[in-house]
Amino acid sequence: MAVSPFKIHIPDSELDLLRRKLDLARLPTSIGSENWGEDNGVTVEKMTELVNFWKGEYDWRKEEQRLNSFPQFKTNISIDGFGSLDVHFMHSKSTKKNAIPLLFIHGWPGSFMEIYKAVSDLNEAGFDVVSPSLPGYGFSSYPEKGGFKHEQHATVLNEVMLRLGYNTYVVQGGDWGSMIARTIAIMYPENVKAVHVNMEIVIQKPDFDKEPQYSEFEKASLERAKWFRETQMAYFMIQSAKPRTLGFAMQDSPFGMLAWMADKVFIWTDSYPWTPTELITWTLLHYFPGPTTGFQMYRENNPAVAGPSLQMKSFVKQPTGVSVFPKELGIVPRSWAETKANIVFWEEHDSGGHFAAYEKPKELAQDLIKFFQSVWQI
């Protein structure tokens, strides 16, 4: 039951190995034209710029110090059929009395630090923020046995909150986090008082007696989701089918991992001005601990599994809020979302993409404050 303080410290030997790998990195030259845009992946020019910055200017120790400025902990949790896991999390508490416990759940390729830009606003508004590394991500371990699905993630995260003394709490999630947030609410209704997501997924269009009237925003959202489904799912397919095989390449090549990461975050955000330092740090939070188990979630929760899963076939009864950003990947109209959850808050934003907490921290924080404060005492 112990909760122990934790600080990130990558050994010098690992950093030395990383430098040697970067010095030996081979870049392709036969496709190095700026005419090759995002439809063919990240350009050679961009990757050359990034790797030169990485070798000459990037400072992991400085980033490590910044990450460690947030209070972090680990605890060991046993899961039936899977043994025990060391679970890492950030826990930033408000100075206000009777603070609202908020569980923030990231997805891929994010991390526990995806929420860090919004933490101060949330703390000041009276929220205790708990942001775990999902099992298999960052500094949380992963079971050797297959079959670790959203239900097991939900069990782990609920236990974290109970272990911290939060018998009731609220949940926010995007990407995989949105699905796990729904799962926790369904499995632990006595603990979860409200749910907020910035990606509400409905796999199949609901059967309506009368077709809803869609706003221009909703029409654009459906087109965005169609574009993503039809042209951008190759990563999902390989991570679902062969996560271990892909993991060998990414585990061994920091440069390859950076390219895989950059390709996604450039396209999934709404013209967010990624700096080289941000891109490299996001990459290293997967590369240092090893990216394979993060990929594994796609195999355990692929569409064949996710369709009939608990979170997709069940209705979330708790008050549910949704913040909708126009460059999100899986956006559905409110009428669709209302068939899956008790939607009482719906906010559409003018800009923003998949990583809402990171791209639009002020906007998301204000939505969370407004929504959760309105339902916490109900």
Counting residues of the chain whose pLDDT is more than 90, the rounded percentage is: 85
Q: What is the pLDDT of residue 198?
A: 97
- Looking at the domain that runs over 70-224+304-375, which CATH code has it been given? 3.40.50.1820
pLDDT digits (tens, 9 = 90+) for 191-206: 999 999 999 888 778 8
pLDDT digits (tens, 9 = 90+) for 62-86: 999 999 999 999 999 999 999 999 9
pLDDT digits (tens, 9 = 90+) for 22-50: 999 888 877 655 555 557 888 888 999 99
Q: What is the pLDDT of residue 309?
A: 67
State the average pLDDT for the chain. 93
Active site residues: 175, 298, 354
Average pLDDT value for residue range 105-118: 97
In whole angstroms, give the CA distance from residue 226 to residue 272: 22
Q: What is the pLDDT of residue 35?
A: 56
Q: Where are the domains of the chain?
A: 11-64+230-299, 70-224+304-375
In whole angstroms, give the CA distance from residue 356 to residue 174: 8
pLDDT digits (tens, 9 = 90+) for 248-289: 999 999 999 999 999 999 999 999 999 999 999 999 999 999
Q: What is the pLDDT of residue 29?
A: 76
The encoded tokens of residue 156 equal 């782990």
pLDDT digits (tens, 9 = 90+) for 47-59: 999 999 999 999 9
Q: What is the pLDDT of residue 200?
A: 86
The DSSP 8-state label assigned to residue 327 in this structure reads B
Residue 75 dihedral angles phi and psi, to the nearest 5°: -150, 150
Element (H, E) at 5: strand 3-6
In whole angstroms, give the CA distance from residue 275 to residue 49: 11
pLDDT digits (tens, 9 = 90+) for 7-17: 999 999 999 99
Helices vs strands, H then E, count in the chain: 17, 9
pLDDT digits (tens, 9 = 90+) for 307-352: 566 777 789 999 999 999 999 998 899 999 999 999 999 999 999 9
The encoded tokens of residue 313 equal 């076939």
Confidence of residue 300 (pLDDT cuts 50, 70, 90): very high
Confidence of residue 305 (pLDDT cuts 50, 70, 90): low
Q: Cβ contacts of residue 211 below 8 Å, gap of 6+? A: none
Q: Cβ contacts of residue 227 below 8 Å, gap of 6+? A: none
Least trusted range by pLDDT, from 16-30, 164-178, 352-366: 16-30
Q: Does residue 353 register a pLDDT over 80?
A: yes
